Amino acid sequence: MKKKVLIIDDDIDLVEAMRMTLEDAGLEVIDAQSGDKGEERARKEHPDLILLDIMMGEQDEGFHVAYRLRNQSETSDIPIIMLSAVGQETGFSFDPQKDEAFLPVEEFIDKPVNPDHLVEKVKSHLGY
Amino acid sequence: MGKSLSFSERIGEQFTLLNATILNSRIIWSIRWRWVANIGFFLLILISRSSGLQLDYDSIWLTLIFLASLNLIYQGIYRYKKKYTLMGELAFISIHIFMDILILTWLIHLTGGIENPLYFFYIFHIIISSIIFPRNLPYVVTTFVFVLFAVLVWAEYSNLIMHHCIYKGQLHESPVLNILIVAIFFTTVFLTTHICTSFMKLFRKSQREVTALNKLLLEKEKEKSSFYRYTSHELKAPVVSIKTSIDAVLAASGPKLPEQSRQLLKRASLRAGQMLSMLKELLELSWQQSKGRNVSSEYIDLQEILNLCVDLEKAVAESRNIRFEFITGEDIPKVRGDKNSLEKLFGNLVGNAVRYNRDGGTVRIRIIKKENGVCVEISDEGIGIAVEEQERIFDPFYRSAAAKEFTPVGTGLGLSMVRQIVDNLGGRIEVESFPEKGSTFRVCLPPGEEK
């Protein structure tokens, strides 16, 4: 059975591009364009992995979504990869070593992420 | 002015140079000068005594001993006082000035009254009080000085108190001279007070304006940096989306596309990537600019930072047979700064030294301890920079002709950021370069601590 990846990102073009790459790699992709919808889909459809954008609507909505996903029993075991378009240049940097302590996600990836890299990261967290 | 401030805070806010710390430092200063005055007077009296001048020396000695003991008490209070407040310091310094004026008047009386030009010394107290006391309070002090002096002169003139002669001229008996001196004294002290207080009023007013402007500036800076954060997302998001889409297409159906189309898409992806790195550097530069100079509490070992920068460039350097030479002295002091900025600073310089070096060249890094800080020299044996371009390479988006010819890729923002970071750290940067021979960039930073 195909593994299911949920992409939560408000940029529909980006979602479609990543969908293409991931489907090509043999994965099933579902998506949500907001944090709320993403949480709902995660609860209902229980994907095997979540790709979560940090900046949607509100500046740091992704963080709140990640917290809530982690604190609900239905979704707490789903691995999360966070995508961020702002690197450290705005002083808004994320240090996985440090930040994972208070934000328990599996990984941070800087956007844009090239297709091979994306597939590699996703598969490694899916246990391929 | 805020309503929630206490009375003394309100005074302090209105009158710069009027706060407990400044007053406190003025007090120790006034104690020191009082010792100088005391010793000076003592020597002067010794001289006048040996020259046979007839004065009431017992009273003079007694007065000087009194002044010395008083100063000793002041010093004791100053040393053992733990807490000090604005009002407390103001009261303390008022007592100093009041006592000084009384003692000075008494000494003038003992040493010849109007015959002794010692009364010039009142000016010191008048100037100090005009600087320190708020509003028109200095006029009270000046009036006190004037009245005291006028009464002394009048009392000596009318023989109410004894006059100690230092000249044979019996000058104190001349009504014209008495009136003249008192009138000139009056003009001098009040004019001095007027000049000082009006200047201080002006000074305080401009200080208040500067403070207000500074506050406004800080607010604007904050707005600016939040603007950059917002822009970073807004500008980057579409480009990220473009690049991701092109890359996805290339990865999924690249082999199926005609060669020409595939090449075009690859170039589009490359250009989007370049735009992203330019945006990234532009935002980094703006971030550093908006951050401004702020003293970081981190002490950083430059050797560590440089090792890290060299490690990052190792792969590229090895592929082009470029080697690193590291020279460092002993006892290199740490510098104050934030690690992130220092890594960016030296990462850029080391990166450039590798990038613009000749194949098989050497990158020399020297850390030198200087009297007033640490200098880092990074030299390459590469393309160099023409003399007329050396000034401009730090300008945003500027790339030297040789650099452009050498590689078309580059934002022209790296060195602008380097300079901004050096400025933020309170250091300076110099470049020395010869075309075709190589360049040396020297960054000097202030030391973070003694050792």
Domain count, chain A: 1
Place of tokens 């690249």: B254
**Per-residue pLDDT at B22:** 73
Give yes or no for B165 touching A (CB within 8 A): no
Other beta carbons within 10 Å of A80? 23
Residue A117 counted as domain residue: no
Amino acid at B266: K
**Which range has the worst mean pLDDT, A87-91, B253-257, B354-358, B446-450?**
A87-91
The pLDDT of residue B347 is above 80: yes
B284/A89 Cβ within 8 A: yes
> Dihedral angle at the C-alpha atoms of B267, B272, B273, B275, nearest 10 degrees?
130
**Per-residue pLDDT at A58:** 67
Give yes or no for B245 touching A (CB within 8 A): yes
The pLDDT of residue B56 is above 90: no
A11/B229 Cβ within 8 A: no
The pLDDT of residue B229 is above 70: no
**Which range has the worst mean pLDDT, B29-38, B66-75, B223-232?**
B223-232
Residue A41 counted as domain residue: yes
**Per-residue pLDDT at A90:** 43
- Tens digit of each residue's pLDDT (9 = 90 or more) over B282-310: 878 877 777 777 666 688 889 999 999 99
Q: Which of B154, B173, B192 is the last residue of a domain?
A: B173
Residue A12 counted as domain residue: yes
**Per-residue pLDDT at B440:** 95
The pLDDT of residue A93 is above 80: no
Residue A100 counted as domain residue: no
Residues in chain A closer than 8 A to B252 (CB atoms) = 20-21, 24, 115
Q: Which of B140, B155, B173 is the last residue of a domain?
A: B173
Residue B178 counted as domain residue: no
Residues in chain B closer than 8 A to A88 (CB atoms) = 340
- Going from the C-alpha of B166 to that of each of A74, B45, B55, the distances in angstroms are 105, 12, 8
Radius of gyration of chain A (CA): 13
Residues in chain A closer than 8 A to B236 (CB atoms) = 85-86, 111
What residue of B is the nearest CA neighbor of A17? B245
Give yes or no for B291 touching A (CB within 8 A): yes
Give yes or no for B236 touching A (CB within 8 A): yes
Q: Are B107 and B45 in contact (CB under 8 A)?
A: no
Residues in chain A closer than 8 A to B229 (CB atoms) = 59, 86, 90, 92
Give yes or no for B226 touching A (CB within 8 A): no
pLDDT (average), residues B431-442 = 93
Other beta carbons within 10 Å of B434? 12
Alpha carbon B55 to its chain centroid, in Å, reads: 52
- Tens digit of each residue's pLDDT (9 = 90 or more) over B371-386: 888 999 999 999 999 9
**Per-residue pLDDT at A56:** 76
Residues in chain B closer than 8 A to A21 (CB atoms) = 247-248, 251-252
* Residues contacting residue B27 through CB under 8 Å, at least 6 positions apart: B74, B78, B89, B92, B93, B96
Residue A14 counted as domain residue: yes
Amino acid at A56: M
The pLDDT of residue A85 is above 80: no
Helix axes B20-50, B57-80, angle to 10 degrees: 160
State the alpha helices, DSSP H only, in A1-128.
Answer: 12-24, 35-45, 61-71, 96-102, 115-126
Query: Does B91 or A60 have the greater pLDDT score?
Result: B91
Query: Does B279 or B195 have the greater pLDDT score?
Result: B195
pLDDT (average), residues B385-408 = 87
Euclidean distance between CA atoms B21 and B185, whole angstroms: 33
State the complex-level ipTM: 0.82
Residue A71 is part of which domain span?
A: 4-93
The 8 Å CB, 24+ separation contacts for B169-172 are: B169/B115, B171/B114, B171/B115, B172/B113, B172/B114, B172/B115
Please indicate, yes or no, whether residues B23 and B168 belong to a single structural domain of this protein.
Answer: yes
Residue B28 is part of which domain span?
A: 7-173
Average pLDDT, chain B: 86
Euclidean distance between CA atoms A20 and B270, whole angstroms: 20
A116/B233 Cβ within 8 A: no
Q: Among A112, A119, A108, A109, which residue's Cα sits nearest to residue A20?
A: A119
CATH of the domain at B354: 3.30.565.10
Domain count, chain B: 2
- Tens digit of each residue's pLDDT (9 = 90 or more) over B110-169: 988 888 888 999 999 999 899 888 888 899 999 999 999 999 999 998 888 888 887 776
Euclidean distance between CA atoms B251 and B178, whole angstroms: 106
B229/A20 Cβ within 8 A: no
Cβ pairs bridging A and B (under 8 Å): 78
Binding-site residues on chain A for chain B (CB distance < 8 A)? 11, 13-14, 16-18, 20-21, 24, 55, 59, 85-93, 111-116
Residue B415 counted as domain residue: yes
Give yes or no for B48 touching A (CB within 8 A): no
State the pairing for strand pair B335-336/B323-328: unpaired
Euclidean distance between CA atoms B28 and B62, whole angstroms: 24
The pLDDT of residue B171 is above 80: no
The pLDDT of residue B1 is above 60: no
pLDDT (average), residues B199-221 = 87
Residue B313 counted as domain residue: yes
CATH of the domain at A49: 3.40.50.2300
Q: Which of A27, A31, A89 to mutate to test the interface with B (most CBs of B within 10 A)?
A: A89
**Per-residue pLDDT at A89:** 42
Residues in chain A closer than 8 A to B249 (CB atoms) = 17, 20
Residue B381 counted as domain residue: yes
What residue of A is the nearest CA neighbor of B286? A90
pLDDT-derived band of residue B219, with 50, 70 and 90 as boundaries? Answer: confident
**Per-residue pLDDT at A92:** 47
Q: Which of B173, B204, B225 is the last residue of a domain?
A: B173
- Tens digit of each residue's pLDDT (9 = 90 or more) over B80-97: 877 777 788 888 888 999
Residue B396 counted as domain residue: yes
Q: Are A114 and A19 in contact (CB under 8 A)?
A: no
pLDDT (average), residues B234-249 = 90
Residue B158 counted as domain residue: yes
The pLDDT of residue B103 is above 90: yes
**Per-residue pLDDT at A103:** 66
**Per-residue pLDDT at B294:** 67
Residue B148 counted as domain residue: yes
pLDDT-derived band of residue B19, with 50, 70 and 90 as boundaries? Answer: low
Q: Which of A10, A90, A117 to mutate to test the interface with B (most CBs of B within 10 A)?
A: A90
Residue A43 counted as domain residue: yes
Residue B438 counted as domain residue: yes
